[in-house]
C-alpha cells in the first residue's frame, strides 16, 4: 500500500480561486465564456480555476438535498438531468493549452467513476503538459445513478475512492509499481511519465468531518474541501478537522483548506469587492489557505481580465 503523505506546512500567501461554469442548464451554444474566463484569470493573477464533475444524470436531482446520500441540506442541483456538463479533466487539458501560470483544479472529481490506472495516466499527462499546474479535488458525490451507470456499487463508494487514490499514488511515485488489495493486484508495472509535482498530483479531499472522510484526508490530502455543516460554520469545521488530523497522527498545519467568500452586493446587484474581501483576514487567521470568490465575469477576454484584475487587487489588499 502507498505510504501516507509527508507534506510540509503551507507557508505561502493565501490563494484566490474562481470556478467558471463548465455546465449549463441548457445548450449554451458554445463555451467561449469558459475559455475567455480562464485566459483572463491567467492574465489577471487569479491563483486557481476549478471545474466540477458529473458524468451522467439519473432522474432524481432532488437527492442533492439529502445529506444521507452525500448531498447537502437545502441544496439545489444547478441543472436538471439534461443539463450540459463538460468532462472536467478534458476541459482542464484544453484550458491548459490556453494558459501559462494559473493552477487548474477539480472540485470535485468523482474519481471512483474512472478506472484507477487510466485516471493516474490522465492526471499525470495533464500535470506534465501543464507544467505541474494540476490539483485533483476529489469526493464521493451524491448520485446513486452515476455509480450504477458505471457498473459500481454506490454503497461502497468511499472504499472505491480510497482504492482509486491508492492506485494513483502508487503509479505516480513508484518506478516499478506494485499493488495488492481485494479490488486489484499487480506487480512490476511501469507508468511514465510521472507527474511533475513531487509526490504526484496534489489531492484535495472533499467531505464532511466524519471518520471515513477524515481518514482519507489524513492519508491522501494536500488540502481539504469542506462539505455540509463545515461550509456554513468554517470555525467549527476547521477546529474539528484539526482535531481529527491530530487523532490520526497527521500534523494539521500541513492541511490546506478552502472556503467560499460570501459575496456582498451593492445597490446594483454587483459584487462589492471591499466588503466581500474584508471577510478573508479572520479566515486566514483561522487557517484557511484558499478562497473561492463568487464573481460574475463579463464576456470577452479584455473586460474579463479588467474585472478579475480588480478582484485580485482587492483580495491581495485585504490579506496582505
* pLDDT tens string 79-129: 999 999 999 999 999 999 999 999 999 999 999 999 999 999 999 999 999
Kindly report the pTM of this predicted structure. Answer: 0.94
What percent of the chain has pLDDT above 90? Answer: 88
Within 13 Å, how many C-alpha atoms sit on residue 112's CB side?
25
pLDDT of residue 73: 87
Tell me what the pLDDT averaged over the chain comes to: 94
Q: CB neighbours of 241 closer than 8 A, spacing ≥ 6?
A: 209, 214, 217, 224, 226, 230, 252, 255, 257
Report d(CA 194, CA 121) in Å as an integer: 9
Say which residue, 305 or 71, is predicted with more confidence: 305
Q: Specify whether domain 15-319 bears CATH 3.30.1280.10.
A: no
Residue with cell 503551507: 10
Handedness of CA 138, 144, 147, 152 (dihedral sign): positive
pLDDT at residue 194 above 60?
yes
* pLDDT tens string 253-292: 999 999 999 999 988 888 899 999 999 999 999 999 999 9
pLDDT of residue 270: 86
Amino acid at each position: 500500500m502507498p505510504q501516507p503523505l509527508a507534506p510540509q506546512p503551507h507557508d505561502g500567501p493565501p490563494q484566490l480561486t474562481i470556478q467558471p461554469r463548465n455546465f449549463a442548464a441548457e445548450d449554451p451554444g458554445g463555451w467561449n465564456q469558459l475559455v475567455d474566463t480562464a485566459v483572463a484569470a491567467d492574465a489577471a493573477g487569479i491563483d486557481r480555476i476549478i471545474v466540477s464533475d458529473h458524468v451522467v444524470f439519473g432522474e432524481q436531482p432532488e437527492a442533492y438535498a439529502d445529506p444521507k446520500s452525500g448531498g447537502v441540506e437545502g441544496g439545489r442541483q444547478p441543472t436538471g438531468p439534461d443539463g450540459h456538463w463538460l468532462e472536467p479533466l478534458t476541459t482542464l487539458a484544453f484550458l491548459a493549452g490556453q494558459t501559462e501560470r494559473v493552477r487548474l483544479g477539480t472540485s470535485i472529481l468523482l474519481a471512483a467513476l474512472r478506472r484507477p490506472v487510466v485516471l493516474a495516466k490522465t492526471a499525470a499527462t495533464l500535470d506534465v503538459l501543464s507544467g505541474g499546474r494540476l490539483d485533483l479535488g476529489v469526493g464521493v458525490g451524491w448520485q446513486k445513478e452515476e455509480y450504477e451507470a458505471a457498473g459500481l456499487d454506490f454503497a461502497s463508494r468511499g472504499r472505491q475512492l480510497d482504492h482509486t487514490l491508492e492506485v494513483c499514488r502508487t503509479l505516480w511515485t513508484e518506478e516499478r509499481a506494485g499493488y495488492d488489495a481485494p479490488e486489484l493486484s499487480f506487480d512490476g508495472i511501469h507508468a511514465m511519465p510521472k507527474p511533475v509535482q513531487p509526490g504526484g498530483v496534489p489531492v484535495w479531499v472533499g467531505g464532511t468531518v466524519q471518520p471515513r472522510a477524515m481518514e482519507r484526508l489524513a492519508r491522501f490530502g494536500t488540502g481539504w474541501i469542506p462539505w455540509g455543516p463545515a461550509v456554513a460554520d468554517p470555525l467549527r469545521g476547521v477546529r474539528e478537522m484539526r482535531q481529527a488530523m491530530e487523532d490520526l497522527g497527521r500534523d494539521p498545519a500541513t492541511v490546506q483548506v478552502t472556503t467560499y467568500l460570501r459575496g456582498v452586493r451593492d445597490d446594483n446587484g454587483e459584487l462589492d469587492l471591499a466588503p466581500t474581501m474584508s471577510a478573508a483576514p479572520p479566515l486566514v487567521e483561522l487557517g484557511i489557505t484558499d478562497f473561492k470568490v463568487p464573481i460574475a465575469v463579463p464576456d470577452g477576454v479584455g473586460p474579463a481580465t479588467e474585472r478579475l484584475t480588480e478582484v485580485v487587487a482587492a483580495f491581495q489588499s485585504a490579506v496582505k
